[in-house]
Every structure is written in structure tokens, then in C-alpha cells.
Amino acid sequence: MHKLSISLFAAIAIILTIALNCEYRFIGGTPLYQQARDNRVDKAILKSVVWATDEEIRRLAEIIEKKYGSQIEQISRKYYACPEDIKAIAIVESLTDENAESSAGAVGLMGVKRETGKEMGFDDVEGPINNLKAGTKYYKMLLKKFKDRELALAAYNLGPGEVGNRLNNGFDPETMDYIWKIRRVARFII
């Protein structure tokens, strides 16, 4: 059953990717970023599927909702951000561990670097509420800068400078497993 749900999700994700790419061709629009020309998108989808089972994601979504749902709703309203995105970022960044710390020095629920927290006006990002506030404010800033949800999410993960550099070289955020993880988690957000 587990392999079936992973295969089903991967198949749906691939079909959606193809459908969205075809839509641009049929209506004559140009995407904001170059489309992937190889199997990088498929690899990113596969990594996101292997990352966690549906049951694990559902459990994490319930934890984040129970512990921080009302605070995330309130913080999201303050910064005009989508609470579902904030919950998904917190799950992907920390697996709901308030004490998480990455090798790059990002801490807390939303994986905020201390320097970024200070830039957002928060001296202490170790506490979960300040971490949520700093991360939400930073994400909203990235949305304003890039005017595209996937690019803002990519910048949240890679940094805005890195995304800017990659855009000059044909970057497609669809190739990032981080984007697919966020999309997958968002399906389970309450």
C-alpha cells in the first residue's frame, strides 16, 4: 500500500507538470523561468516522495496545527501570508522540532538563520513564536521580491541571491525537491 501511494503521487505530480507545461504552449504564454530540459523535475518529485510517507506528513500536519495553528493564523494575518504555506514551510524545515538546527545554521520551526531573524527585526529566533514571526515576515518579503510563489519558496530554501544567480542561468524551481515537499505537505494542512 505504501509503494502504491508513493507511485500514485509521483504519477499525478508528473502528469500535472506535463499539463502545466503544455498549457503554456497552447495559450502562447511564457513562463517566468525556463522549463527543465531533462529529468531533473522527475528526480525532484521522486526525492519528495521518498522523503516522508503520507502518514508521517499527516501526523506532522496535526502536530503543527495542534501546537501552533492559531498562532500561525494570527501571524499570517499580520504579515499577509498564506497560513498553509507557513505551516508547510515549518514542517519541511524542521519536522515540527522547535529545537531543529541545520548545518547551515538555520534554527527553529521555520529554519531561520539568526542573521535573517535580525534583518526581520527579531534578535531571538530560538523561541518558536519569534521564529514563526521572523520566518513568515521573511517569506512575505521574498514573495514581494520575486512575485512568484515557487521562486519565493526556492529563495526561502536557497537564499534570494542564489535564486537570482540561478535565474540568469535558466533556473527552474520545479527541479527542487524542496518545492515538491512543500506541495506535498500542503495537501495535508488542516
The model's pLDDT over 132-159, given as tens digits with 9 standing for 90+, comes to: 999 999 999 999 999 999 999 999 999 9
From the list 41, 88, 81, 83, the residue with the least C-alpha distance to 184 is 88
Question: How crowded is residue 6: how many other Cβ atoms within 10 Å of its Cβ?
Answer: 15
162 is catalytic: no
- What number is the average pLDDT over the span 27-48? 58
30 or 53, higher pLDDT: 53
Mean pLDDT (the chain, rounded): 83
E-strand ranges in 54-113 read 106-107, 112-113
Domains and CATH numbers, the chain: 2-186 (1.10.530)
pLDDT band at 8 (very low <50, low <70, confident <90, very high): low
Q: Which of 93, 101, 126, 174 is catalytic?
A: 93
pLDDT band at 28 (very low <50, low <70, confident <90, very high): very low
> Is 99:161 a contact under the CB 8 Å cutoff?
no
pLDDT band at 173 (very low <50, low <70, confident <90, very high): confident
Distances (CA, A) of 1 to 50, 62, 185: 14, 22, 19
